[in-house]
């Protein structure tokens, strides 16, 4: 049933091509949904650089690698390299998994254990430099994926926030006159200007939004059901903030990438703060005790 829902919304999305292409949200749904269970049981995959001359050669190489998946392998490669097959050029160096493991967290650029977050029941991190997100429970990675955050003239503001209200469906107020921009599975984290995490068409290699944070459909559904919102008293005052959110780092100067080659080793470009409180509050609501929220 969940994949029927995914298909219906993805067919309604605009996947017109850009320089690196758009994420095929329907195709990656099985990958995104594979993230389950304790991270202690997951083995991280290793990567190797690979240069190809034809797509046929690339596909043969990918097919020869041991592990799970067959139809989805190309999408694992696309997501890791931030470019779709139809935009790949011969001679390009790609990062390819040494094995295709089942749980998509095996391919995460995020650390499996984030020591600074060991005391937090939940933490949602948006890394603008790699254009990814990572979700943690008591410092253990439970979910991750790609995002498209605010573009150059509409940057997603950095800082510490909390998830606030949520809505299954919302029309964007940033749409020009005569146009309707429809957002699904919306979770707000900066109530003043209205900055949300939500499903929308997802460029694979560019920050393109008007300040909000776009995700794939299944990632948005997952977060909609995972995160906690704020709690009000009878007078409407906030008495408990929702799940802590951190927006870190700056947009990349060019196309985002979660991996880089250093001394012939493929390493992650996700750099998390040593202390959570190295990140400044994003609004007046984010005091130390209220930000942690105990959930």
Q: What is the CATH number of the domain that holds 101?
A: 2.40.440.10
Q: Give the separation between CA 57 and CA 63, rounded to whole angstroms.
A: 10
Q: Which pLDDT tens digit goes with each residue over 90-146? A: 888 999 999 999 999 999 999 999 999 999 999 999 999 999 999 999 999 999 999
pLDDT at 1 over 50: no
The whole-angstrom separation of Cα 69 and Cα 63 is 10
Which pLDDT does position 238 carry in this prediction? 86
Asked whether residue 185 carries a pLDDT value surpassing 70, the answer given is: yes
Number of domains making up the chain: 1
45 vs 294, higher pLDDT: 45
At 270 the pLDDT is 98
**What mean pLDDT do residues 265-273 have?**
97
Q: How confident is the model at residue 206 (pLDDT cuts 50, 70, 90)?
A: very high
The DSSP annotation for the chain comes to -HHHHHHHHHHHS-----SS-B--HHHHHHHHHT--S-GGGPPPPPEEEEE-SSHHHHHHHHHTS-BS-STTHHHHHHHHHT--GGG--TT-EEEEESSB-SSGGGG-SS-SB-GGGTT-S-EEEEETTTTEEEEEETTEEEEEEE-B-B-GGGPPPPEEEE---EEEEEE-TTSPTT---EEEEEEEEETTTTEEEEE---BSS---BSSSEEE-HHHHHHHHHHS---EE-TTS-EEE--SEEEEESPPPSSS--SEEEETTEEEE-----SSGGGSPBSSTT--HHHHHTT-
Q: Residue 23: what pLDDT?
A: 97
Mean pLDDT in the chain? 91
Range of the domain at 108: 2-292
Residue 201's pLDDT is: 95
At 213-257, the pLDDT tens digits run 999 999 999 999 999 999 999 998 888 899 999 999 999 999 999
Residue 200 has pLDDT above 60, yes or no: yes
pLDDT tens-digit series, residues 77-88: 999 999 999 999
Over 60: is that where the pLDDT of 6 sits? no
Looking at residue 180, its pLDDT comes to 76
CA 36 to chain centre: 16
């Amino acid at each position: 049933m969940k994949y029927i829902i995914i298909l219906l919304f993805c067919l309604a999305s605009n996947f017109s091509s850009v320089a690196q292409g758009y994420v095929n949200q329907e195709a990656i749904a099985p990958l995104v949904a594979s993230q389950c269970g304790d991270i202690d049981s997951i083995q991280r995959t290793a990567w190797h650089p690979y240069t190809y001359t034809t797509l046929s050669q690339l596909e043969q190489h990918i097919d020869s690698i041991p592990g799970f998946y067959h139809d989805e392998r190309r999408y694992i490669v696309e997501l890791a390299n931030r470019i779709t097959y139809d935009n790949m050029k011969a001679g390009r160096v790609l990062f390819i998994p040494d094995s295709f493991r089942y749980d998509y967290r095996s391919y995460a650029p995020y650390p499996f254990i984030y020591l600074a977050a060991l005391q937090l029941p939940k933490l949602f991190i948006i890394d603008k430099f790699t254009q990814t997100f990572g979700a943690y429970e008591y410092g253990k990675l439970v979910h991750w994926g790609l995002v498209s955050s605010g573009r150059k003239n509409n940057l997603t503001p950095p800082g510490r926030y909390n998830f606030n209200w949520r809505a299954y469906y919302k029309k964007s107020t940033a749409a020009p006159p005569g146009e309707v921009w429809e957002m699904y599975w919306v979770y707000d984290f900066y109530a003043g200007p209205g900055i949300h995490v939500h499903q929308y068409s997802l460029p694979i290699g560019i920050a393109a939004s008007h300040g909000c944070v776009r995700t794939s459909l299944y990632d948005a559904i997952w977060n909609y059901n995972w995160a906690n919102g704020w709690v009000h008293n009878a007078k409407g005052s906030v008495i408990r903030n929702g799940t802590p959110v951190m927006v870190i780092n700056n947009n990349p100067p060019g196309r985002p990438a979660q991996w880089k080659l250093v001394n012939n080793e493929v390493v992650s470009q996700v750099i998390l703060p040593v202390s959570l409180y190295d990140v400044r509050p994003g609004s007046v609501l984010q005091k130390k005790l209220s930000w942690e929220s105990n959930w």
